[in-house]
A = this chain, B = another copy of it.
Amino acid sequence: MKHGPDIARIAALIGDPARANILSALMSGKALTASELAGEAGVSASTASSHLGRLLEGGLVKEARQGRHKYFALAGEDVAQVLEVLMGFAAGQGHLRTRTGPKDAQLREARVCYNHLAGSRGIQLYDSLFARDFMELRGDDLFLTEAGQGFVRTLGVDFDQLVKSRAPVCRTCLDWSARRPHLAGSLGRALFKRFEMMGWAYRVRDTRAVQFSSDGLRQFNMAFPVNPGSHG
């Protein structure tokens, strides 16, 4: 009866507890098999398969066969974005599934959002890039400046490679806890991958939490300093 995008369709997909659990599990960015996801969601393999079929058709997840396993992952950052915002709202509603624990604080500090860094550290990264004129807005899109491109290269990011692929390099993703944008896009993913490779940070098993090593945090803070009050 109405105009506008069909939000009911996709909200209904997320609205089932089993599917929501599946999607939440995939927010870690790791691709998981159908049986693993069945376990996460607490349902039988057959029901999980049915749910995955639906999510697939709905464009929320994608599959990748690999050997005898079939791996599932979120279809893209758009999906992660939607889930982030939903989580942010649900959390704000005070309807946390489990009471707020120490794990939660860690998630606010640093976590992975599908494949890029989120949480306070993610925001720090985003702000720092702006503050140092490494990133800027042109029209409606984010771009790295010349200086910014040089900068990320010093961090070991193959920038030319990123540009070659058709995926957007810089993109905004809204933060779960702080309600502030942070850096997504292929650059966001590449940077986080570098942090992992350089041993600055690592993922906590079976969680979205990201743990910085003490030395890694120092290096991170040097690479992405914060100058309060000088956004731009």
Q: Measuring CB to CB, which residues of chain A are less than 8 angstroms from any residue of chain B?
A: 1-17, 19-21, 23-25, 40-42, 59, 78-79, 81-83, 85-93, 95-98, 103, 120, 123, 127, 130, 133, 136-141, 171-172, 174, 178-181, 207-208, 228-232
Q: Which of B7, B133, B140 contacts A86 (CB 8 A)?
A: B7
* Contacts beyond the supplied A3-B97, A127-B137, A141-B180: 7 A-B pairs with Cβ under 8 Å: A5-B90, A5-B95, A8-B14, A10-B90, A11-B12, A11-B14, A232-B232
CB–CB A2/B97 < 8 A? yes
Q: Could you say how many copies of this chain the assembly holds?
A: 2
A178: chain B residues at CB < 8 Å are 140
In the complex where A1-B41, A4-B97, A103-B3 touch, is A90 in contact with B9 (Cβ < 8 A)? Answer: yes
CB–CB B87/A5 < 8 A? yes
CB–CB A11/B9 < 8 A? no
Residue with the greatest number of chain B CB neighbours at <10 A, chosen from A88, A137, A139, A232:
A137
Q: Which of B24, B130, B139 contacts A4 (CB 8 A)?
A: B24
A88: chain B residues at CB < 8 Å are 5, 78
A142 CB to nearest B CB, Å: 8
Residue with the greatest number of chain B CB neighbours at <10 A, chosen from A14, A89, A172, A208:
A89
A95: chain B residues at CB < 8 Å are 5-6, 9-10
A85: chain B residues at CB < 8 Å are 81-82, 85, 174
A138: chain B residues at CB < 8 Å are 228-229
Residue in B closest to A42 when the chains form the complex, CB atoms: B1
A199 CB to nearest B CB, Å: 26
A228: chain B residues at CB < 8 Å are 138-139
Q: How far is the CA of A15 from the CA of B11 in the complex (A)?
A: 4
